[in-house]
Amino acid sequence: MANDETTNPKSWRVRTRAVRGGLNRTGFHETSEALFMTSGYVYDSALEAEHSFDGTLDRMVYSRFKNPTVETFERRLAEIEGAAACRATASGMAAVHAALMCQLKAGDRIVASRALFGSCQWIINELCPKFGIEREFVDGADLAAWERALAKPTTCVFIETPANPTLEIIDIAAVAALTHKAGGRLVVDNVFATPMLQSPLALGADVVVYSATKHIDGQGRCLGGAVLSDSTFCQDVLGPYLRNTGPALSPFNAWLLLKGLETLDLRVERHCANALRVARFLEGRPEVARVLYPGLESHPQHALAARQMRGWGSIVAFELKGGKAAAYGLLDGLDLIDISNNLGDAKSLITHPWTTTHQRLSPEDKLAMGIGEGLLRLSVGIEDADDLIEDLERGLTV
């Protein structure tokens, strides 16, 4: 079944779609989604096998191509996002890699925002040139820089907004318009916002990618990823790339991610409420040089975030006046918040990007992205905000 063939009423609102979207019950009438742990499928005859491969029959042939549980996850996420189609992948990086490389070839040009997650930056900065793809990085918040970079024909533009870990906000509608003038597609990594807080396709983007490992699972259990776009891109451009390179999502992980989608809205609501309280607390502390959170009036793109997001998200970044020593002092002084490079989890997690997620970048590249040695990225969980604030108070005063 194609992703956009759903039997759900079109009138369902997003919260209903998150719980029931894409559900296709088997003859056992189960309440929860069925888990099809199978790598392959069998045929009643040789002719049926032949017709399954020549396209006469639309059916499952191999779980690298399609699996019923994975397809339920794809349909549900597509319904939440408002996308015509979705393809799931084994991780967020598999989604980013496939979404970019399936459409790029030697001689093409990609333009990306400078502030990116380390592995996304690696794909564009290191991998693309190896295949003869020209790349250019732009200061994401500078619209004049986008106009200059997109004055030349460009195949693809990649942005993260809010960006990891600097929480920079990029004007999706404006960059989409410039990308289309340059003849390209805009790919948005929507990990920090989640489908609950931002809809890049509705703002003009062409492709959305997720690390489903983050808020979609949100409970530290599994890796996963997804690419959402129109049916032509998913079937004709991305489809053959996934089928033949094989970054398929495990059916078990798809099942976990379906359960994650059911509670995503509730969790994101609590994440956002807690993060705003934590950000305001940090802003009032003398040890903190600056707090980066789109919900704070002090955030440089607060007004833009209010326009294009429906909430401020779960991630707060903050710079300590005492640099790396102060950052390590805080990390080691925490009792409740865990030191971890993951994010979007129910548990609050904190990391030092300079030495972890962005370690492999040169000091110059890190500084150009806005990552200093005193910067910490806090993924605020869904615990009681008072306990989180008490823990940060403890860490700041050691």
Ligand X SMILES: Cc1ncc(COP(=O)(O)O)c(C=O)c1O
CA–CA gap between residue 284 and residue 396 (Å, rounded) = 12
CA–CA gap between residue 90 and residue 254 (Å, rounded) = 9
223 or 396, CB closer to ligand X? 223
172 or 385, CB closer to ligand X? 172
Burial of 299-318, coded b for 16+ CB within 10 Å and e otherwise, reads bebbebbeebbebbbbbbbb
Q: Which residue is closest to ligand X by CB? A: 92
- Minimum gap (Å) between residue 375 Cβ and ligand X: 15
- Minimum gap (Å) between residue 342 Cβ and ligand X: 7
120 or 264, CB closer to ligand X? 120
- Minimum gap (Å) between residue 116 Cβ and ligand X: 7
- Minimum gap (Å) between residue 205 Cβ and ligand X: 15
CA–CA gap between residue 189 and residue 317 (Å, rounded) = 18
- Minimum gap (Å) between residue 51 Cβ and ligand X: 37
69 or 164, CB closer to ligand X? 164
Structure tokens given for 20: 């029931």
Backbone angles phi, psi at 21, to 5 degrees: -60, 140
160 or 171, CB closer to ligand X? 160
The residues pairing with 377 across neighbouring beta strands, listed in sequence order, are: 317, 351
Structure tokens given for 348: 């609050």
- Minimum gap (Å) between residue 117 Cβ and ligand X: 4
258 or 326, CB closer to ligand X? 258
- Minimum gap (Å) between residue 119 Cβ and ligand X: 6
213 or 314, CB closer to ligand X? 213
93 or 248, CB closer to ligand X? 93
- Minimum gap (Å) between residue 93 Cβ and ligand X: 4
Structure tokens given for 339: 């030191």
Q: How far is CA 63 from the centre of its chain?
A: 24
- Minimum gap (Å) between residue 162 Cβ and ligand X: 9
159 or 272, CB closer to ligand X? 159
- Minimum gap (Å) between residue 235 Cβ and ligand X: 24
The residues of the shown chain that bind ligand X, judged by CB under 6 A, are: 91-93, 96, 117, 120, 160, 164, 189, 191, 211, 213, 223, 225
100 or 178, CB closer to ligand X? 100
CA–CA gap between residue 203 and residue 112 (Å, rounded) = 18
